[in-house]
A and B are shown apart, each in its own frame.
Chain A
């Protein structure tokens, strides 16, 4: 009997997350069952109380739209109603030339932007990895492009790059370089890349500068004493130690660049060889209101992001393991 009671007590104490020796907090010791509040605020369940709102928000605002999008990708039609067409949308997409061209462009833009942003970001971070007068002001100013709404920036760049009256061309003209057809169909995609890189290189710069600041000085001192060159030090010490950060930047920028949309909205609107995947999704969903096909394209975007994200994430784990060795 006693044993039985003892077991029950342990069970309840365990349930409310109170250790047997914690006599002051043991509600059971007071001779009553714990209240709902006591149960919820116990160590065991309190974490769930905190997590439930987030889980609910994720379920309602992320999982539900995702499932609905997958559901719609198997259907055809617009806002008035859809019919089940099984895998037809996916078949159409795979045969659709107007899908593969933006797909190729998106990969191209992603690669160009990430490489350029990392190179510029690393270069500037290396330059700024020392104390100089006005360093805080300059580091703050370089973040400005990140603080402006991307859509506004694209509208501003459209004016800046205008052939006749744009500031950039007027400047080039004054310098006797001559005007550039920034929106010529042969180079417009690279102009879009330029705008994107201009806006986002401060992100790489900031992250890499923070990384550089946190590197241990003794290793570099030892390398200097051993007479290693700057290039050797950079290649064999700096770069490997920063590799987890480089992979994180690559991961985040890949996810964001696959969804690149704003620079197109204020400039070419997908014309002159600049239509990217996300613009195609927007056009299909909100211009043609072809909900089924747009959902298929959106799922494809997500799929590509997951694949690339998983590959890069693997690299991140490797980089972290290597850095910890």
Chain B
């Protein structure tokens, strides 16, 4: 029996040693790599690039002595198929291998969050939805800090200033640029332009509602238009018999993007989920949920629910792909609030599926002109074993060359004004859909009042925003589907916002 115990002890000891050994090896490796990184940083500091390059490109990436692999996680989707060759070009130029892990977008946050909080350094570049920026700011480098080390701040600013000021603001924490944008999902309202331009429809609308049919600019107009275009199979549209039921609106009211839609309406009223109060020096003082905020949320929810009557019943569990298909296949006239990177996609489906050669889309401001905005972006992780390489890769991915490829090859929307301003978008071939799309984005992004609004938006100031954002999907959905009354929904939204903010933000929050 004694020997048996000895054997057990020996096995347990061996296992313990094996675990400890693994951990020690990892620690040693990390230390060695950190030392190597520090050496590289020192070397790089001596050879700082001083030239100001207006348009930064791969040729401007200097020799990087730290050759540690770079790892990043991105979402699945066609755009990365097109960007992988550019990442390979980066590897060719720098000799740094880049490993790209691709996962479905709903799991990007949870997968990255664990690694960032634990400081594992598994990812060198964090793939960040801009509303998570403040939450993750403590785990990311300030880009200007890295620019001062490996580049020059002037060169960095010269190139980055080509990006939309709105999107750059979304990627800042306390004024520091924590992430660089990759592509935007800035929202807009898509309408069937051919239907709105049809004289028969215009006359019928004016007769019924007493004003001209044009893209809605307020809730009443949108509601009227939703009602007007909701028709049964066999009714007429543009003088032709409908072969299927038609809905005035297409909405993504499922518990996935309902909060993005809701934000458009709420922000459009000039309100927000929480009021951000700042000190004179611009630092955060407190968050307040006052009665006016609660009233605005309640009114927005009531209006939202009223609009769902003119959308397909499928809207209650719908995501963006469903809504795109609804309008694309001619079953809906308006996508009230949709990610503008889905515009060309919808236009393509309309062209293919709607049996009307004149069918085409138009893109307009969402109600109130303050659409939900942001971009998938990249930030350099503090725990990275190669921050220098990660910095240059992030800069390259945000460069004119990659950004142009994102739009021209990947079909997503660049956040760079210089890419959007390319006259090529306005030629006869590209004017529809890209020309009108870039006009829409440029008009939004040059609106200073919108830039200021975004800088003060709660999403882009609170370190709890990522978690509250995820919570909102569920709670808003309960209100939309009738699981909770509007009043109960507002109460739960406020209560959970306060609870999560109290746990995950140091700035005090209170309800008035």
Contact = CB atoms under 8 A, between A and B. Distances in A.
A301 interface: no
Nearest to B109: A287
A29 interface: no
Given A36-B7, A272-B477, A288-B500, A183 B110 contact: no
A174 interface: no
B292 interface: no
A164 B317 contact: no
Contact of B8 (A52, A183, A185): A52
B110 A287 contact: yes
A36 B3 CA distance: 8
A296 interface: no
A272 B483 contact: yes
Given A77-B503, A288-B470, A273 B8 contact: no
A162 B319 CA distance: 12
Nearest to A275: B474
Given A36-B3, A185-B481, A287 B117 contact: no
Contacts, number: 94
A158 B11 CA distance: 50
B483 A287 contact: no
B57 interface: no
Contact of B317 (A40, A48, A158): A158
B1 interface: yes
A56 B11 contact: yes
Contacts of B503: 77-78, 290
A304 B254 CA distance: 30
A192 to B, nearest CB: 11
A244 interface: no
Contact of A287 (B11, B317, B329, B467): B467
B299 interface: no
B344 to A, nearest CB: 21
B471 interface: yes
B255 A80 contact: no
A156 to B, nearest CB: 14
A233 interface: no
A184 B313 contact: yes
B474 A164 contact: no
Contacts of B325: 165
B65 interface: no
B76 to A, nearest CB: 13
A9 interface: no
Nearest to A264: B255
A163 B471 contact: no
Contacts of A39: 3-4
A168 to B, nearest CB: 12
B114 interface: yes
Interface in A263-294: 267-273, 275, 283, 286-290
Nearest to A292: B503
Contact of B474 (A40, A56, A283): A283
Contacts of B15: 56
Interface in A174-207: 181, 183-185, 188
A179 B145 CA distance: 59
A45 B117 CA distance: 46
Contacts of B255: 268-272
Interface in A27-83: 36, 39-40, 45, 48, 52, 56, 77-80
A183 B11 contact: no
B4 A48 contact: yes
A162 B474 contact: no
Contact of B117 (A48, A78, A272, A286): A78
Nearest to A15: B1
Interface in B304-324: 312-314, 316-317, 322
A178 B115 CA distance: 49
Contact of B256 (A40, A56, A269, A273): A269
A279 to B, nearest CB: 9
B11 A163 contact: no
A163 B508 CA distance: 45
A289 B113 contact: yes
A185 B114 contact: no
B500 A181 contact: no
A268 B396 CA distance: 39
Nearest to B483: A273
Given A269-B254, A270-B474, A183 B7 contact: no
Contacts of A98: 492
Contact of B316 (A15, A40, A79, A183): A183
A162 B503 CA distance: 38
B129 interface: no
A163 B113 CA distance: 35
B118 interface: yes
Contacts of A162: 314, 322
Contacts of B245: 164
Given A162-B322, A268-B317, 17 more contacts: A56-B11, A56-B15, A80-B117, A98-B492, A162-B314, A163-B314, A185-B481, A269-B256, A271-B481, A272-B483, A273-B481, A273-B483, A286-B110, A287-B471, A288-B470, A289-B113, A289-B467
Interface of A: 15, 36, 39-40, 45, 48, 52, 56, 77-80, 98, 158, 162-165, 181, 183-185, 188, 267-273, 275, 283, 286-290
Q: What are the 8 closest A-B residue pairs judged by CB atoms, nearest first?
A: A271-B255, A163-B314, A271-B477, A79-B117, A185-B481, A183-B317, A287-B470, A181-B313
27 contacts: A39-B3, A52-B8, A52-B11, A56-B15, A78-B503, A79-B113, A163-B314, A164-B326, A165-B325, A181-B313, A183-B317, A184-B313, A185-B482, A188-B317, A268-B317, A269-B473, A270-B474, A271-B474, A272-B317, A272-B477, A272-B481, A272-B483, A287-B109, A287-B110, A287-B471, A288-B471, A289-B113
